[in-house]
Amino acid sequence: MNFLHDLIDLLLPQLCAGCGEEPALLCNTCAAPLLSTPRQLSAPPGVPPTWTIAHYEGPVQTTLVNYKERGRTPLADPLGRALANAIEAAHKPPAPSGRQLIVVPVPSNRGTTRRRGHDPLGGVVDAALHHLRAHGVNATKTPALRQRRRVDDQAGLNATERAANLAGALEVNPRTDMTGRRVLLADDVITTGASLAESARALRAAGAEVTAAATVAATPLRRPRR
Ligand SMILES: [Zn+2]
């Protein structure tokens, strides 16, 4: 699947994943929102303090869809750079030197991962950690969370439905001991915050302390914190 996409990318002239016009992976105009200053969102109850970079609209939305659904895997790098900036902002004050920053990705729907043939968030988090390490931040990815039951696709559900769909849906893999560990959650997009809230609940239930969350983008209904 990825091989086929890589082959197509190699054979066809590449056009910008945001606007489809410029001959680039991502043109400067479409990349600009991903370079915005990190901002903190007003987190609903149960959602850890959350930092994000871009608004999920226009070229940013198109770029994420092209990355996740159309296998444009090299986009993991610019998206990961944005996530790294959000993680750095969320990770203040930094942990004492030597202590590792543990980043836990929000798990995606198992069926969705199979259909896509790749793990989009995992790729973005890996790219983000690469950038963080280059900045001297000692960070590691711990995919501690997994689904304990089937959930419906969140798209098309309102905030109440999303929360109900996800309530109790996640758990920490019993083979991963999270007791007493301080972690930061990472996701690509925050919509209502239901996925982050359920992830934080499951981690806390397993004895972890969830200090913050970071995402690449937020849907426009998420207003900045005043
Ligand atoms: Zn563009």
- Given a cut of 60, whether residue 1 has pLDDT beyond it is no
Identify whether 224 is part of a domain.
no
Is the link from the previous residue into 93 a cis peptide, with omega within 30 of 0?
A: yes
Write down the pLDDT at residue 93.
66
Q: Give mean pLDDT, residues 205-221.
A: 94
Residue of higher predicted confidence among 91 and 201: 201
CA dist., res. 218 & res. 222, Å (int): 6
Q: Which domain holds residue 114?
A: 2-218
Buried b (16+ CB within 10 A) or exposed e, 16-54: bbbbeebeebbbeebbebbebebbebebeeebbbbbbbb
- Given a cut of 60, whether residue 91 has pLDDT beyond it is yes
CA of 19 to the centre of ligand 1 (A): 4
Write down the pLDDT at residue 37.
98
Identify whether 223 is part of a domain.
no
Planar angle of CA 165, 168, 173, nearest 5 degrees: 125
Number of structural domains found in the chain: 1
CA dist., res. 191 & res. 100, Å (int): 28
Best CA proximity match to 216, nearest among 145, 127, 144, 153: 127
CA of 54 to the centre of ligand 1 (A): 15
Write down the pLDDT at residue 158.
84
pLDDT confidence of 98, banded at 50, 70, 90? Answer: low
- Given a cut of 80, whether residue 203 has pLDDT beyond it is yes
CA of 167 to the centre of ligand 1 (A): 38
Q: Are β-strands 139-141 and 182-190 bridged in parallel, bridged antiparallel, or unpaired?
A: unpaired
Q: Give mean pLDDT, residues 180-197.
A: 95
CA of 61 to the centre of ligand 1 (A): 12
CA of 28 to the centre of ligand 1 (A): 7
CA dist., res. 55 & res. 62, Å (int): 12
Identify whether 65 is part of a domain.
yes
CA of 31 to the centre of ligand 1 (A): 7
pTM (two decimals): 0.88
Write down the pLDDT at residue 35.
97
Q: Give mean pLDDT, residues 178-205.
A: 95
- Given a cut of 60, whether residue 206 has pLDDT beyond it is yes
Query: For 6-62, what is each residue's pLDDT tens digit?
Result: 666 666 668 999 999 999 999 999 999 999 999 999 888 899 999 999 999 999 999
Best CA proximity match to 59, nearest among 25, 86, 10: 25
Write down the pLDDT at residue 47.
95
pLDDT confidence of 225, banded at 50, 70, 90? Answer: low
CA of 49 to the centre of ligand 1 (A): 31
Domain at 167, CATH number: 3.40.50
CA of 73 to the centre of ligand 1 (A): 16
CA of 82 to the centre of ligand 1 (A): 16
Identify whether 147 is part of a domain.
yes
Identify whether 106 is part of a domain.
yes
Which pair of tokens denotes residue 191? 């919509």
Question: Hunting for tokens 């426009």 — which residue is that?
Answer: 220
CA of 86 to the centre of ligand 1 (A): 22
Q: Which residues contact 144 (CB under 8 A, 6 or more apart)?
A: 104, 172, 173, 176, 178, 183, 203, 206, 208
As to burial, measured by CB atoms within 10 angstroms (0-12 exposed, 13-18 middle, 19+ buried), residue 174 is exposed
Distances (CA, A) of 135 to 120, 129, 190: 23, 10, 25
Question: Hunting for tokens 């007493």 — which residue is that?
Answer: 180
Specify the 3-state DSSP secondary structure of 31: helix
Identify whether 225 is part of a domain.
no
Write down the pLDDT at residue 111.
67
CA dist., res. 30 & res. 17, Å (int): 8
